[in-house]
Amino acid sequence: MSTPMERLAQIQWRWWLAQLKEYALLMRLDKPIGTLLLLWPTLWALWLAGEGRPNPRIFSIFVAGVFLMRSAGCVINDYADRKVDPHIERTKNRPLAAGRISPQEALMLAGGLALLALGLVLMLDLQALLWAMPAAAIAAAYPFFKRFTNFPQFYLGIAFSWGIPMAYAAQTGEVTRITWLLFIANLSWVVAYDTQYAMVDKKDDLRIGIKSTAIAFGDLDRFWIGIFQGLCLMTLYLVGTSSELGGWFNLALVVVALLFAWQQVLTRDRKPAACFQAFLHNRYVGAAVLGGLILHYTFVPA
C-alpha cells in the first residue's frame, strides 16, 4: 500500500502531465500544418540560396527556429483571442478559451519560446541577425491586426515570408532580386490559403466583429483566391527562369497548378469543412515546390 506522500507525488505527477498536454495543445503540437506552411518557404529559400546544398548548420538553426516561432505565435494568438475564441465553434475548446491555462501561463510560455528562438538567432552572422530583429515584432503583432483591418491575411503573408530574406542573408550574406520574387510568391500563397481558412469561421467572425479577407472579398472570395494563386505561380515561374531552373521545377509548378485547381473545386460550395480541407491541402503545395528544387539540384548538372 502506498504512503500518503507517495499518493501525493502521484497526484502531482498526473497534474504536471495534464498541464504539459495543455501547453502542447496551446503550441498546436497536435496540428503541424502551421509549422509546415512556415517551414516550406524557408526551405525553398535555403535550397535556392545554397544552390541545392544549404549549409547544414544554418539548415538546422532555421528548422528549429521555425518550430519555436510558430509555437510562440500560436500562444500569442490565443492570448490575444482569449475573449473571442469561446464564442467560435472551432476554437471554443482551446486551452486558454476553456480556462485550462491562465493568461499568465500563456505569456510565460510564449516568452520562454521566444528566448529559445533568440538563442538560435544569435548563432547566425550579423546580416541574418539584422533581418531577424523585426521578425518577433511582426509575428507578435499579427493577432491584433484582425481587430482593425479587413486584410490581416496580407500581414500574415509578410510574417510567414520573413524567413526568406533571413535565409538568404544567412546563406549568402545578401538579399537579391530572386529573394523578393520568392517573397512575393509566398505572400500571395499565404493570402490565398489563409482566406480559405478564414472562410471556415466567416459566419462566427461576422457575428462577433472579427475582420478577414474572406469577409472583405464577399462573394468574390474564390475569385480572389484564384488571383493570388495565379500570382504565386507566376512569380514562382519567374524565380525558376531567373535561377535557371529546368524541367523538374516546371513540372513541380504544374503539380501546384493542379493542386490549386482542386482547392477551387473543394471550396465551390463554401462549406466550412470543405474550406478547411482546402486549407490543409496546401501542405502538398509547399512540398511540391521543394520537391522540384531538390530534383533540379540533384539531377541537373551544375
pLDDT band at 18 (very low <50, low <70, confident <90, very high): confident
The Cα–Cα gap between 225 and 267 comes to 10
Q: Cα–Cα distance between 130 and 169 in angstroms, integer?
A: 9
pLDDT band at 301 (very low <50, low <70, confident <90, very high): low
All three cell numbers of 270: 463554401
* 151 and 198 Cβ atoms separated by less than 8 Å: no
Nearest to 276 by CA among 198, 188, 187, 186: 198
In tens, the pLDDT along 116-129 reads 988 998 898 888 88
Q: What average pLDDT does range 247-267 have in this prediction?
A: 97
Phi, psi of 180 (to 5 degrees): -75, -30
Would you tell me which CATH number, out of the four given (3.30.470.10, 1.20.120.80, 3.90.79.10, 1.10.357.140), belongs to the domain 26-299? Answer: 1.10.357.140
pLDDT at 2 over 70: no
Q: How many residues does the chain have?
A: 302
Average pLDDT over residues 266-273: 95
Return the C-alpha cell found at 17.
502531465
Position 260 pLDDT exceeds 80: yes
Round the average pLDDT of the chain to a whole number and report it.
Answer: 90
Task: Give pLDDT, residue 249.
Answer: 96
- Weakest mean pLDDT among 60-74, 180-194, 246-260: 60-74
* Residue position matching grid coordinates 525553398: 44
How far apart are the two ends of the chain, measured CA to CA in Å? 71
- Asked if the model's pLDDT at residue 141 lies above 90, the reply is no
Instruction: Identify the pLDDT of residue 280.
Output: 96
Give me the pLDDT at residue 118, please. 87
Q: Which long-range contacts (CB under 8 A, 24 or more apart) does 170-175 make?
A: 170/55, 170/58, 170/61, 170/62, 170/124, 170/125, 170/127, 170/128, 171/45, 171/46, 171/49, 171/50, 171/54, 171/55, 171/58, 172/49, 173/125, 173/127, 174/127, 175/131
**Percent of the chain surpassing pLDDT 90:** 59
Angstrom distance (rounded) from CA 169 to CA 128: 5
Q: Among 114, 103, 20, 129, which residue's Cα sits nearest to residue 70?
A: 114
Is residue 8 scored above 70 in pLDDT? Answer: no
For cell 521578425, name the residue. Answer: 135
Which three cell numbers, joined as nine digits, stand for 264?
A: 477551387
Average pLDDT over residues 135-153: 80
**Where exactly are the structural domains of the chain?**
26-299
pLDDT at residue 1 in the model: 59
